[in-house]
């Protein structure tokens, strides 16, 4: 009942700032990873997979657009401006999604780890007391079903091949692992988000839910999983400690916009 009242009332000013920050984390993560995935267009390992992976990339960008729209409704500004105009320092994406694609093994491994993460973050959002987020998360969660199935099936195939593929995946896992912690940084408003029921989970709970999903699966496939802990004290553990590749990505994204600053529409 209390939650319904709040949804009807809309978030308070303070809650609004916390909400916008959460929405931008989710949007920036999905936009940056969708952008990275789309770099495989036309050059995936086979034609059918090229088409399939493009759908996943489009979904990620589409989900980002949905979260930017929600932030926009809270007064954060136009969705496209949120996606294109914010400088590196204002970005809320995790270094995990910013890292370059590398080879297909790293892409497959990141796809697997990230979509498992999205699942636990979205599960928490489907219990959100803020209805617009709860509804958005429920929709997105349905589209993520395919992503999870695709990422797991592909990883199982590649890992079971052994040899070069397995070695490349192992290498990818080692490259990616230090950045995992950045996904679980819920930002400066984490306590408030939890207290107000906007995001009824904390970082430690999300991380242990994620580990419960991915660690047994990775172990079963024969991967030695690096030491797990609630919080890694690596330099990449915080949103805001961006990977150097993000700056280049943002410059690329602005390439057309910067051609004609006076243009009102494209």
Partner 1 sequence: MSAEVFEPYQVFVRRDALDAMEHVGTVMAASPEMAVLVARQNFLRRDAAVGLWVVADADMHSANTDPQFFAEELDKSYRRVDGYSDNARRWKRFKQQALQLQDIVRDLESKEG
Partner 2 sequence: MRTKEPDIATTEDVREPVASEQQRVFLERIDRGEKIEATDWMPDEYRLLLIKFIQMHGVSEIMGAFPEKEWVPKAPTLRRKLGMMSKVQDEMGHGQLLLSVVQELGRPLGLTREQLISDIFTGRTKFHNVFHMPAPSWADAGVIGWLVDGAAIVSQAALLDTSYAPYARVLKRICAEESFHMQHGESIVLSLAEGTASQRQMLQDAVNRWWESLIFFFGPPDVSDAARKMIRYRIRTKTNEELRQKFLSRYVPRIHALGLTIPDPDLHFDPLSGLWHYTAPDWAAYGRMVRDNTGPMSQARIALRQQAHEGQRWVREAMRAGAAQLAMEGARA
**Site for partner 1 contains 38 (CB under 8 A):** no
**Site for partner 1 contains 43 (CB under 8 A):** no
**Site for partner 2 contains 68 (CB under 8 A):** yes
Helix axes 104-125, 203-220, angle to 10 degrees: 140
Number of chain residues interacting with partner 1 (CB under 8 A): 14
Number of chain residues interacting with partner 2 (CB under 8 A): 52
- For residue 34, the minimal CB distance to partner 2 (Å) is 8
Sole binder of partner 2 in the list 7, 17, 74, 83 (CB under 8 A):
83
Residue spans of alpha helices (H) in 39-130: 47-71, 79-84, 95-98, 104-125
**Site for partner 2 contains 154 (CB under 8 A):** yes
- For residue 240, the minimal CB distance to partner 2 (Å) is 23
**Site for partner 1 contains 164 (CB under 8 A):** no
- For residue 150, the minimal CB distance to partner 1 (Å) is 5
222 Cα distance to chain centroid:
26
Q: What's the chain's Rg over C-alpha atoms?
A: 18
Phi then psi for residue 43, to 5 deg, are -130, 20
Residue 152 or 171: which CB sits closer to partner 1? 152
Q: What is the DSSP string of 160-197?
A: HT-HHHHHHHHHHHHHHHHHHHHHT---TTHHHHHHTT
**Site for partner 1 contains 139 (CB under 8 A):** no
**Site for partner 1 contains 47 (CB under 8 A):** yes
- For residue 111, the minimal CB distance to partner 1 (Å) is 12
Distance CA 110, CA 94 (A): 13
Q: What value, to the nearest 5°, has the Cα angle with vertex 119 and ends 61 and 172?
A: 75
Residue 21 or 59: which CB sits closer to partner 2? 59
């Amino acid at each position: 009942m209390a939650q319904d009242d709040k949804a009807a009332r809309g978030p308070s000013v303070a809650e609004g700032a916390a909400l916008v920050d959460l929405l931008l984390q989710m949007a920036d993560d999905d936009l940056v990873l969708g952008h990275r995935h789309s770099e495989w267009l036309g050059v995936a390992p086979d034609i059918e997979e090229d088409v399939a992976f493009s759908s996943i990339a489009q979904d990620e960008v589409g989900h980002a657009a949905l979260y930017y729209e929600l932030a926009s409704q809270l007064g954060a500004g136009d969705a496209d401006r949120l996606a294109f105009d914010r400088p590196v320092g204002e970005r809320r994406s995790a270094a995990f999604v910013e890292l370059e694609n590398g080879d297909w093994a790293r892409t497959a491994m990141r796809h697997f780890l990230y979509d498992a993460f999205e699942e636990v973050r979205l599960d928490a959002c489907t219990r959100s007391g803020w209805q617009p987020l709860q509804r958005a998360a429920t929709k997105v969660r349905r589209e993520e079903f395919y992503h999870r199935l695709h990422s797991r099936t592909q990883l199982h195939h590649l890992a079971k091949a052994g040899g070069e593929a397995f070695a490349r995946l192992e290498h990818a896992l080692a490259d990616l692992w230090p950045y995992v912690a950045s996904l679980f940084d819920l930002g400066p408003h984490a306590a408030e988000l939890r207290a107000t029921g906007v995001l009824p989970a904390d970082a430690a709970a999300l991380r242990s839910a994620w580990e419960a999903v991915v660690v047994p699966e990775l172990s079963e496939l024969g991967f030695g999983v690096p030491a797990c802990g609630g919080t890694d004290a690596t330099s990449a553990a915080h949103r805001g400690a961006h990977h150097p590749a993000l700056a280049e990505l943002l410059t690329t994204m602005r390439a057309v916009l910067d051609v004609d600053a006076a243009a009102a529409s494209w």
